[in-house]
Chain A
Amino acid sequence: MGLWLARRAVQAIITFVIALTLLFVLMRLAPGDPVQRLEGERPMSPQEIARLRQRFGVDQPIGRQYRLFLGGVARGDLGTSIEYNRPVTALLRERLPATILLGGTVILVNFTLGMWLGVRQAQRRGSAEDRLLTAVSLAGHAMPSFWLALILAWLVGVRLRWLPSAGLSDPLLGAAAPIAVRALDVAAHLVLPALTLILVTLAGTMRFQRGAMLEVLRLPYIVTARAKGVTEVLVTWRHAWRNAVFPMVTLLGLWLPLLVTGSVFVEAVFAWPGLGSLAAAAAGNRDYPLLMGVAILSGGLLVGSSLLADLAYAALDPRVRLS
């Protein structure tokens, strides 16, 4: 087990470093200059541009920039954002909670609801309910997230005024408001962005779960269990579902990095102060340090979640051995 873990960790680190190196190089090969961009429509003198280039280290050869970057990462210093002129770590720290809240809610609801509905569909294969759920979920899946976000924000937020149309909290509540009131306020702001993402992603989880359940439900041991008089609930959840959950573990492992970057458009439409919109702006602004910071976070999550998925397999399935 220890050896396996060490080997997987080394593999993960190598993958991670290769990905970061590629991103670092490709970003600098792309046209567009991060300092020149700051000029925008307010002209800066060539001297000012040169000073800023020096300050942010983009006047150095790419090899030296890379060495400085790696040295910084080793010290836990991801550099200073060119756009915000603040440490990247501080920016990531500020935006991470909102991202975890939105992404975590989406994953939680998506997987609980998606798996439940997928199981239900498998149980009722070919029924009207199965067909209806398939049609509805695929319709949600087919809708572009930004379009759905715009429609929900306009309909529920602007037209009906049932829920806030944008933001994470009501600034007029004040920092001194009771925590329960603030929690309710955040929950209200969370509904529309989370609902948008859930609606466009639920179909995938449902289809995965439905397919996996159908595979298991036709196996002989399920027939045996039913013949022995085991209740349908137990057959479904104890005997069938436990063996149909493994594809979902893989899916969850792939989903986790989307916590960081998977909701760029939705974050923009709902003015959600998360990492997705920060990453998108960093890419557009050629804010190399910030973009690398987000990449480290999402890359780390991807590698980490893949490792966790392997461990989860071993824990859930006695046939899998970590060797």
Chain B
Amino acid sequence: MIRSAPPPPALLLLALLAAAPASAQRPASSIVIVTGGEPSMPVPTLMEGPQNQVANFEVADHLFLRLANLGPGLVTAGDRGFVPMLARSWSRRDSVTLVFELDPRAHWHDGAPVTARDVLFAFARARDAAIAPKLATLTQHIAKVEADGDHRVIIRFTHPYAEQLYDATWHVAPLPAHLLAQLPPDQVAGSPFLERPIGDGPYRWVRRVPGEFIELAADTTFFLGRPGIDRVIIRSAADPDARLNLLLSGQADAMDNVPPPLSNLQRVAADPDVRLVRVPSPTLGFLLFNQRARRDSTRPHPILADADVRRALVLALDRQVLVQAVLGEYGEVPFGPASPVLWIRHGAGAPLRQDRSAATRLLAARGWADHDGDGVLDRNGVPLALSLSYPGSSAIRRAMAQLIQEQYRQLGVRVDLAQFEFPVYLERRDAGDFDIDFSSTTQDPSPSGLTQSWTCAGGTNRAHYCDTAVDSLITRAIAGQGDTRTLWRQVLQRIEQGAPAAFIYAPTYVYAVNRRYRDVTIRPESSWISLWRWSVGPVASPQTAGY
């Protein structure tokens, strides 16, 4: 008879399988939010370079208060529409001076009061290009920040312009000077403060478990009112499937931006415990037409330098079909380089619809026709052939690129798809080594960011688009010379006419939140910034949610 020893691994496996998920005992007033990025440095003035990540900003918004937040309309120009936070009020002394009255009830999580000194300290760090180069650029029009007593801050600007209040409130949240002033700036990142940041926001820091989550607890003495949820867990999972599984298995209560494909949204929508919240996104996807020759920016592009050819390439696309096919109802075709988060897009205009005949006429007028009958337009023996570059890491662009290739084929334009690994894609794009670049950008709420990509001297104007009329309109809009809203609309219209790009998609972000939460508001400019106003109900909330 053959005998063998008992299987010790079986006992081990049985013991492991006997372990039940502990998440069954979920505390009532808590929320677990699962997100793609891992927040590693959520402290104002440190979120630069590699740390300039949404995950950091979103956690910082729970810990640190700004002087004021953007209002529901996300309007960044003028002095109205902002929501008081650390500053209970503000007034304008003259065209270059704003005066803020700090709320005397505000305090740091260690009990120290928030004073004007903290505001001055944070601005001093933010305006130092050696410490925070990006912030220093964003606050370059602030000439001076002064204190008048403990609770009054006076901010002077270099010149009058429309977004003074936005610049004074949005970019820089005050830091606790009593804890950080003694630390040299280059030592803050490695200091104990970073292990346990002390803020003045609705939530205080509890702990960070590397690679897993950050835990925050409600500041029960928060001067604007006790948060409705006691514990907040920000859980990281880089893989989209892992995030979905955490949500659908009940291990997470909320999830930011359910990733494509559309079937993911259908899976989440089918869960009766979860509701979907649509939020305008700051993202914009577009085909950028290089107006200079590849790898030689001194020469015009042999095909795309011609504005009529670019217009034809815009008209040839059925962008509605592209958006519908890849994003379904969760996206739209933008008008100009304005994502849904930009307030200037309202009333600016409607994108051109596909008109293949008009596109053909435009190309024919420029000499492009199928002379050799091979199905591809040509001129002087040169085929109308272009390459389309995009990163393989973007599911949306990957899917759309195939459809775009087919739509252009029907016009007689040969498009070769060039998919690259993300770092390689960026390297080639920044070197101008592309014909058509399938770009995606994430925009700040301020339209002044358009300067970077769409003005002649813009630092990230990679397609070498240059229209002095657009430059002039943007300058006047930023300075507030005239009706700002009208000027920005004209900017978008002028860019659309020049066709430096075909603006393809502006997605709607879809957040998933368990139905037991009430008063759910998710903000486009910072998703969870209003979380402290949420509450937890004993039963599923019938309320709708929004932004």
Contacts and interface: CB of A to CB of B under 8 A. Distances in A.
B422 interface: yes
Interface stretch (B158-166, B211-219, B515-523): B211-219
Interface string A15-52: 00000000000000001111011111111111110011
Contacts of A123: 2, 4
Interface in B124-146: 133-134, 137
A36 B462 CA distance: 14
Interface in A81-135: 82-86, 91, 94-95, 98, 108-109, 112-113, 116, 119-120, 123-124
A190 interface: yes
A116 B189 CA distance: 52
Contact of A165 (B52, B249, B283, B441): B249
B21 A170 contact: yes
A285 B2 CA distance: 55
Contacts of B2: 123-124, 232
A204 interface: no
A103 B249 CA distance: 25
Contact of B441 (A34, A43, A85, A120): A43
B41 A85 contact: yes
B249 A158 contact: yes
Nearest to B439: A41
A116 B442 contact: no
Contacts of B235: 167, 171
A167 B426 CA distance: 32
Given A38-B50, A153-B245, A171 B22 contact: no
Given A41-B440, A43-B459, A98-B211, A165 B424 contact: no
A123 B21 CA distance: 39
Contact of A45 (B213, B238, B459): B459
A202 to B, nearest CB: 10
B134 A44 contact: yes
Interface stretch (B8-16, B294-302, B375-383): B8-16
Interface string A46-77: 11100110010000000000000000000000
A165 B212 contact: no
A236 interface: yes
Contacts of B231: 172
Most buried by A among B245, B430, B460: B245
Interface residues of A, number: 82
B51 A85 contact: yes
A258 interface: no
B40 interface: yes
Contacts of A154: 245
Contact of B238 (A47, A161, A175, A281): A281
Contacts of A95: 210-211
Contacts of A188: 16, 19-22
A233 B305 CA distance: 83
Nearest to A81: B50
A154 B235 CA distance: 19
B5 to A, nearest CB: 7
Contacts of B248: 158, 165
Contacts of A86: 40
A177 B159 CA distance: 57
A172 B30 contact: yes
A221 interface: no
A95 B209 CA distance: 10
Contacts of B13: 109
Interface string B235-248: 11111011101101
A48 B210 contact: no
Contacts of B460: 43
Interface stretch (A4-12, A264-272, A309-317): A264-272
B4 A167 contact: no
Contacts of A214: none
Contacts of A286: 423
A274 B212 CA distance: 10
B22 A173 contact: yes
B27 interface: yes
B249 A36 contact: no
Interface in B152-182: none
A166 interface: yes
Interface stretch (A137-145, A179-187, A247-255, A294-302): A179-187
Nearest to A47: B133
A83 B426 CA distance: 16
Nearest to B134: A48
B4 A233 contact: yes
Nearest to B51: A85
Contacts of A243: none
Nearest to B442: A41
B21 A85 contact: no
B245 A166 contact: yes
A157 B4 CA distance: 35
Contacts of B250: 161
A33 B424 CA distance: 7
Contact of B3 (A34, A112, A167, A232): A232
B427 interface: yes
A293 interface: no
Given A113-B9, A154-B245, A233-B3, A171 B19 contact: no
Contacts of B239: 268-269, 271
A153 B17 contact: no
A116 B7 contact: yes
A243 B181 CA distance: 69
B30 A34 contact: no
A273 interface: yes
A33 B423 contact: yes
Contacts of B189: 85
B233 interface: yes
Contacts of A82: 50
A34 B10 CA distance: 46
Contacts of A51: 133
A31 B424 contact: yes
A20 to B, nearest CB: 22
Contacts of B423: 31-34, 36-37, 284-286
Given A32-B424, A43-B453, A269-B242, A164 B237 contact: no
A168 interface: yes
B19 A191 contact: yes
Contact of B40 (A32, A55, A85): A85
B355 interface: no
Given A44-B134, A271-B237, A277-B238, 18 more contacts: A38-B50, A42-B441, A43-B459, A84-B50, A85-B41, A85-B51, A98-B211, A161-B21, A161-B249, A163-B19, A165-B245, A170-B251, A171-B209, A172-B26, A232-B1, A271-B239, A274-B211, A285-B423
Interface of A: 31-34, 36-48, 51-52, 55, 82-86, 91, 94-95, 98, 108-109, 112-113, 116, 119-120, 123-124, 150, 153-154, 157-158, 161-173, 175, 181, 184-185, 187-188, 190-191, 194, 231-233, 236-237, 268-271, 273-274, 277-278, 281, 284-286
Which 7 A/B pairs are nearest by Cβ-Cβ distance?
A: A273-B211, A32-B423, A188-B19, A113-B9, A271-B237, A94-B210, A165-B245
